[in-house]
Structure 1
Amino acid sequence: MNNSDDLRSLNSELNIVYRYLRKLKITHEDAEDIVQETAYKFLQYYDSIRTKKIRSWLIRVALNFHYDQTRKNSRIKLDLREDQVKTLSKDLPEEILLSHEHWSEIEYILSKLKPTYRELLLLKYIWEFKYDEIAEILDLKANNIKTSLFRARKEFAKLYKEVYR
């Protein structure tokens, strides 16, 4: 990567990653840190990146770094009342995910899911991305996203019933 056009192209892609992170409600400072780390990893592994979809690769690296940092910096606190558990157990997974008042319970269940399922549920129900947008981010087909989301919802519901019954 010694061409100035390549550097301009990388800068353009990193700006898109930054805007994407801000759309996810990540603070300006954190988004800048994530983009800087992403650029570093890109330059470090440039020769071994095999995908032609550099934007997808950059977004994937940025999201993984963000999730790692969030996981390191957060603690899960369970503070459930009996009436909350009864109310929530009647809801569908989509309704549970959309209910921000029960976020600590949701975070706990999400932490128990496979990372792929957790990411799909967050992208779809918290950040409200469309199937084709998720497919582009994860570099998968939209049909695969639909199938995986179905499985993720099913697993979420199963874990939720196990924990909160």
Structure 2
Amino acid sequence: MNHSDLLKNLNTELNFIYRYLRKLNVSHEDAEDIAQETAYKFLQYFDSIKTPKIRSWLIRVALNFHHDQYRKTSRVKLDLREDQVRTLSKDLPEEILLSYEQRFEIEDVLAKLQPSYRELLLLKYISELKYEEIADMLDMKIGTVKTSSFRARKQFAKLYEEANR
């Protein structure tokens, strides 16, 4: 693979990582920083990367960096998303508040899940990836992905039910 193709492929993968991080409710600025740090690490260690699955390597680096930064800063989440702010004039305040509360409950339950379960649920239901794609991305067997996804859904349902009692 020549230098130009490598950079195009890297750019495509970093865009995917950025969008994935945004689905994890990482702020725009933080997602850009994480993608940039991931690109730096890729360029720094390109010669020593053994896996043919660059996307899985990049996602793992990005998530590890994000988890490290989250532990260091423990930032507070913003109250409203950008799309909610744009629709303030269209929706009733009660609907916005209910939507926000439901989203907050879901995020709160997701935060209580172990990171591997949270990642599986987000890849499956937010990124809308197939089990085969998730297995390739995370270097797991399809059966393991399905089993872990089932357990993640079960644990999510239990925690969500407990939170709404």
* Alignment TM-score, normalising by the size of structure 1: 0.65
Aligned match of 1:65: 65
Aligned match of 1:158: 158
Tell which deviates more after alignment, 147-156 or 19-28. Answer: 19-28
Aligned match of 1:13: 9
Unmatched tracts of structure 2, length 5 or more: 79-98
Q: For 1:115-138, what per-residue CA distance to the aligned partner results, in whole angstroms no more than 9, with x for missing partners?
A: 000011111112222212222221
Unmatched tracts of structure 1, length 5 or more: 78-98
Alignment of 1:131-150 (within 5 A): 131-150=131-150
Aligned match of 2:50: 50
Aligned match of 1:130: 130
2:117 and 2:149 in contact (8 A); partners too: yes
1:18 and 1:31 in contact (8 A); partners too: no
The residue type equivalent to 1:75 in the other structure is: V
List structure 1 runs of 4+ shifted beyond 6 angstroms: none
Q: Secondary structure at the match of 1:111?
A: helix
1:75 and 2:76 correspond: yes
Superposed displacement of residue 44, structure 1: 3.5
Aligned length: 140
Structural RMSD (CA): 3.2
Superposed displacement of residue 109, structure 1: 0.9
The residue type equivalent to 2:15 in the other structure is: R
1:18 and 1:32 in contact (8 A); partners too: no
1:56 and 1:139 in contact (8 A); partners too: yes
Aligned match of 1:120: 120
Superposed displacement of residue 32, structure 1: 4.5
1:14 and 1:58 in contact (8 A); partners too: no
Q: For 1:28-87, what per-residue CA distance to the aligned partner results, in whole angstroms no more than 9, with x for missing partners?
A: 76554333211211233445533232232113223443565577474269xxxxxxxxxx
Cα distance in 2, alignment partners of residues 40 and 22 from structure 1: 14
Superposed displacement of residue 159, structure 1: 1.8
Cα distance in 2, alignment partners of residues 17 and 73 from structure 1: 27
2:111 and 2:118 in contact (8 A); partners too: yes
Alignment of 1:86-105 (within 5 A): 102-105=102-105
